[in-house]
A and B are shown apart, each in its own frame.
Chain A
Amino acid sequence: MVSSYFLYPLSDEGEQIVRQQGSLENLFLEDKDLMDLVIHTKSQNISNDSYIPKSLAEYTLKRVEWYVRKKYDKEYEHNDYAFLLNPELEIYDVISFYIAAQSIGINFNPNSRESRVFIESQGQLIQERLETLSKTLREETIAKLLNQLIAADNLHWTSLAELLGSKKINLSHLIIDKGQIILDKKDFLDRFEHKIEDRIPEKMYDILIGDKIKELIVNRMIMQNTENYISKVHEMVSNVEAHPSLIQIGAKISKTLTENYSYSSNQGGDIKASKFQVEAFPPCIQNTMDGVSAGNRNDAIVLLMTSFLSYARLYPSVFKNKADLKISDLDKGLKITTTEILPLIYEAAQNCNPPLFEDDPQEKLNITAKLGFGVHETPELDKEGESKWYTPMSCEKIKIHLPVLCQPDENCKKIGNPLSYYNLKKWLMKQSMTNQQTENTKKSEGN
């Protein structure tokens, strides 16, 4: 049996453990018991000393490092981190969860990538820890957690509004009837048996719902609670003095991320960042450059242009690469941002009718915010992370929010995002250039 706090550190039990045993004094001290447990974890790789966390602080960093490496590093090996699934380490794990969450809340914004990575890593850990259990044990554990997380027997879908609103769950993945989320087999059969004709209703239940919807809800709720906890810590920071150890660990977490990200972004792929090629912009962007009238103006500049131009110039492979980068990872002194990207955004803003900043100077701050630098007049390095670097809007979103700008051409059929359009068109343009060149060489050879 695993304790529920091994999966859900914010549970009452988890909190109690931390209150009784968590201390910030010995974070960096070598802990023999911890090392012993790690070394004796089944299939744990011990060939290199660096695989073994020697203190609580190191364990905390390993937790984060595991997740980024798993996600982005092709050479990732599970056995380097096997101890993270070992329930004998549960007490260490709970305490390290609080250390990480507090360090992040103290040092970074709830929107920062440090927060996001940590929240995601918790979700992934729950998933993998569940997978080590037998089917019955797994079901029992989930049932117990669900009970802790949801007070009522009946789950109305609107009680998941927070998870839906932060896109942790999609409405269409749930089976909902008269407002209730259907989780229980008997309940499912009572309601739907008569509708299911060509298949065995029990099997239909297993396929559509089974245990996985419960697991999904539990998992996402714990992620949401983690997020809320970080926000709470963050709000309190200004009132209380933060412990120096936590500040130190926050910095180390950040470093772990940067190291592992640069690793992944160096692998680059075939989409390289380069100077703007305006001819390769998709119709919606060209239209925006030409100027947009009131009504659509604000969204077109602040949401569409800002995200498109910044990613097109700095990180065109974002959807392929998936590494969660900041602008300064790609543009260290913000030179490109201030001399190439912002001027183009401002130009588009000026072309609007009426010019955007004339009656809405506030929008300048919102543009800075969408670049990840908080609500300020211009981007400044020390403000980075106060907001999130907004990823390029998808065509679907553009069609909803800015339908007048979308005038699809042939290439639009092949893509789902203006940024992919840009990459495709750049490639096509290069292709036709080389073709022409070979044509030309052929011709001259023929002569």
Chain B
Amino acid sequence: MNKREFGFDHLGRGPNDRYRVFKNSDLLRKFLRYRAPFAVYSSVAFYKKPWKRGEWLKSELVFDVDAKDLPVRSCNCDSVCEICLDEALQIVGSIIDVLKEDLGLKNVHVIYSGRGYHIRVLDPAAMQLNSEVRSQILKYVSGAFNPKNRYYMESLPGQKPYELEHFTIPVGYSAVFTDRIKYIILHLTGEEEIDQINPRLLKDVMQNRHFLEEEKWGLFKNKIGPRRYKNLVDGIAKLNLGLVDAKVSIDLKRILRLPTSLHSKVSMKCMKVDNIENFDPLKEAVPKFVRERKEF
């Protein structure tokens, strides 16, 4: 704890008091009681000299999934609601799967942030990684680009490539990509405006997407047509980049809302999620005083 930087929002307009350091949680508690800030933040980074963000040691690997900014939401609410929070949680679940099953990372935590979720990885193997690697991981777990579909058996020049679409490869990044494409297609409302996907294509996708529920990708692709299929997945890949707030993941020195503190704009508690299967933010993260107020 004494290697992290803390930040506070005393005026309610974002963190304005940074570079604070606390030796232990007792001192932090005292500070909080005395100054009563609107919000409390702590750095994902550990420093030798946190009071001046000096001598960076390591940083948590973070993924910020904000329900309000999801590229595809089935609700049409203007901030967050039960539906999009639930969708954010589904995405969080599938990202965690890849972090653990593919990348073998341990020590993966989920924090409910007030309007979405933070995945925070404290695996020592991940904490040393630089921004470039983090951005590669981010693209990997969110399915942010169409994987190559031509493969060469040997690296000899002049031979014909094998053409394999992502859905025929059940391992590695291709499998993750297939999963993300499926999720988005099944969650489209049909009203979206997506780059590279014109209204007719979108309509055909809506009409044929039931094939994907049974994993009939070949059929689905045939119905759409190979050229339009490429447009479709390229378009969705770009969209996937918005599943996670990339800036948070690549910024090694960011400060994040402290778990158990209060999100002052939405009056919800920022808290650790122990079991993502049955977490319900509207029940668990609403602080007592708000609930009471509502009831009266």
Contacts and interface: CB of A to CB of B under 8 A. Distances in A.
Contacts of B290: none
Contacts of B164: 207
Contacts of A206: 153
A167 interface: yes
A157 B153 CA distance: 23
Interface string B92-109: 000000000111110000
Given A179-B105, A180-B104, A165 B241 contact: no
Interface string A201-218: 000101110111001000
A165 B130 contact: yes
Q: For the side of the interface on B, what is the size category?
A: 35 or more
Contacts of B105: 179
A176 B104 contact: yes
A204 B170 CA distance: 10
Q: Which of B125, B126, B172 has the most CB of A within 10 A?
A: B172
A166 interface: yes
B170 A400 contact: no
Contact of B173 (A156, A171, A215): A171
A198 interface: yes
Interface string B124-137: 01101110110111
28 contacts: A131-B156, A157-B104, A158-B128, A164-B136, A165-B129, A166-B132, A170-B136, A172-B139, A172-B140, A172-B147, A174-B172, A175-B171, A176-B104, A177-B104, A177-B171, A178-B101, A178-B104, A179-B103, A192-B171, A196-B170, A199-B168, A204-B171, A211-B154, A212-B154, A215-B155, A399-B241, A400-B246, A400-B247
Given A172-B139, A172-B147, A400 B126 contact: no
B151 A165 contact: no
B250 interface: yes
B195 interface: yes
A195 B241 contact: no
Contacts of B195: 408, 413
A126 B116 CA distance: 49
Contacts of B104: 156-157, 176-180
A182 to B, nearest CB: 8
A170 B151 CA distance: 15
Contact of A400 (B137, B154, B241): B241
Given A177-B171, A215-B155, 20 more contacts: A131-B156, A158-B125, A161-B130, A164-B136, A167-B132, A171-B133, A171-B137, A172-B145, A172-B172, A172-B173, A175-B171, A177-B101, A177-B102, A177-B104, A197-B170, A208-B151, A212-B154, A212-B155, A400-B250, A413-B195
Contact of A127 (B103, B155, B170, B171): B155
Contacts, number: 97
A401 interface: yes
B31 interface: no
A192 B175 CA distance: 12
A176 B125 CA distance: 15
Q: Which of B155, B241, B246 has the most CB of A within 10 A?
A: B155
A161 B153 CA distance: 26
Interface string A293-335: 0000000000000000000000000000000000000000000
B169 interface: yes
Interface string A401-430: 100000010000100000000000000000
Given A131-B156, A212-B152, A161 B139 contact: no
Contacts of B135: 400
A176 B155 contact: no
A401 B153 CA distance: 37
B133 A161 contact: yes
- 10 nearest A-B residue pairs (beta carbon): A179-B104, A172-B173, A158-B125, A400-B246, A175-B172, A195-B170, A171-B136, A178-B104, A165-B130, A164-B133
